[in-house]
Amino acid sequence: MTKKIKMTTPIVEMNGDEMTRVIWSMIKEKLLEPFIELKCEYYDLGLEKREKTKDQITIEAAKAIKKYGVGVKCATITPNADRVKEYNLSNMWKSPNGTIRAYLDGTVFREPIILENIKPFVQNWTKPIIIARHAYGDVYSAVEIKANEAGISRLSFEGENQKESKIIKEFEGPGILQAMHNTDKSIKSFAKACFNYALDKKMDLWFATKDTISKIYDHRFKDIFIEIFASDYKEKFAKSNIEFFYTLIDDVVARIIRGNGGVLWACKNYDGDVMSDMVANAFGSLAMMTSVLVSPEGFYEYEAAHGTVQRHYYKHQKGEATSTNSVATIFAWTGALKKRGTLDNLDELVIFAKKLENTCLKLIEMGTMTKDLAILCDGEKVNIVNTEEFLDKLKEQLKLVI
């Protein structure tokens, strides 16, 4: 390739924290900037910047995704009490992922990256399992109260034509309360996103809640999915020879473990958070899972499905080499580049992103990998490399196919 690929519309770039921030910089320097004239609108979502802006930078980044249509995000710290002390924060700021997902009202689709020489822990899984996570409401937008004394707690609603109040609990002493919500609009968007994604992937769609226990909240999810499927998607699924299946969450977990994969598993927000980590690790590693937030308005945000790799970052700060897996972060960038190229009719950009993905996977399948994958590898010849060495070797191989 004699000249760099030019972009016409910016990608919203959101930097992050700790080891993934270090890797983020390396990926841009070694794998992207030598080949692409990157056009990005940059937002630093590192914890220090969120503290400085009172987390307004996260809202600004979400607005930018709505403006430009495509974003790519580095992993970020969601602070707990220990992090508040470590970073001397004025507030325990919310998860940037949660803020962005709530603002865009999207669905997160997470899919494992399959390798020939890395076998799933669940041996009967021969096909990918994609998790569709509703990315709005529930516990992530919950309101909480710590009751310090005896008293009465109520759940109430006041509308123009409906007023309703129920006693939650008559506390005899201290306790805790939590109130969650969701909306018909968001659940309908979630359902349609799942049905459309299943049709695109030509995969069966499974959806599960606990409607036998939650007879209003969870049951509303079930009703909306079934109604939309019957009215808009039943014939389309039949023509594609795929099925929609609803069951209870505990039943679907058993079916997933016993099955061979090849399904799109739709989950409520918390279920999707937990189960996507379980599926990723069972397929090999959290660092081998793609993640994309798809909004009903057609906005896309790509990210790695894992955290900031805190332990490796502390080693890095001491000047020690780490063997940190960068694949999911690379695929976050390639996902965003492919979508940007598709929307802007830039075939060169799409082709480059696909070549980078394929070259990355071939490099691992040929035996060069970070330590986390080497432990899982079936191959006899394994070359364990550190974080930067892997990216350098990937760049060498990429140059051969560009």
Pick among 3.40.718.10, 3.40.950.10, 3.40.30.10, 3.40.50.970: CATH of 1-118+285-402: 3.40.718.10
How far CA 52 is from CA of 81, 148, 167, 216, 272, in Å, comes to 18, 32, 41, 41, 31
Sign of CA dihedral 163, 166, 170, 173: negative
Tens digit of pLDDT for each residue in 300-355?
999 998 899 999 999 999 999 999 999 999 999 999 999 999 999 999 999 999 99
Pick among 3.40.50, 3.30.160, 3.90.190, 1.10.3470: CATH of 119-134+181-283: 3.90.190
Tens digit of pLDDT for each residue in 352-372?
999 999 999 999 999 999 998
DSSP calls for 342-379: HHTT-HHHHHHHHHHHHHHHHHHHTTEE-HHHHTTB--
pLDDT value of residue 2: 64
Q: Using alpha carbons only, how large is the chain's radius of gyration in Å? A: 22
pTM of the model: 0.86
pLDDT value of residue 285: 79
pLDDT value of residue 265: 97
pLDDT interval class at 258 (50, 70, 90):
very high
Tens digit of pLDDT for each residue in 119-141?
888 989 999 999 999 988 899 88
Tens digit of pLDDT for each residue in 187-243?
999 999 999 999 989 999 999 999 999 999 999 999 999 999 999 999 999 999 999
CATH 3.90.190 domain locations along the chain: 119-134+181-283
pLDDT value of residue 128: 92
CATH 3.40.718.10 domain locations along the chain: 1-118+285-402
Residue-averaged pLDDT of the chain: 94
How far CA 57 is from CA of 60, 63, 104, in Å, comes to 5, 10, 15
Buried b (16+ CB within 10 A) or exposed e, 175-199: eebeeeebeeebbebbbbbbbebbb
Report residue 174 as tokens.
């201290």
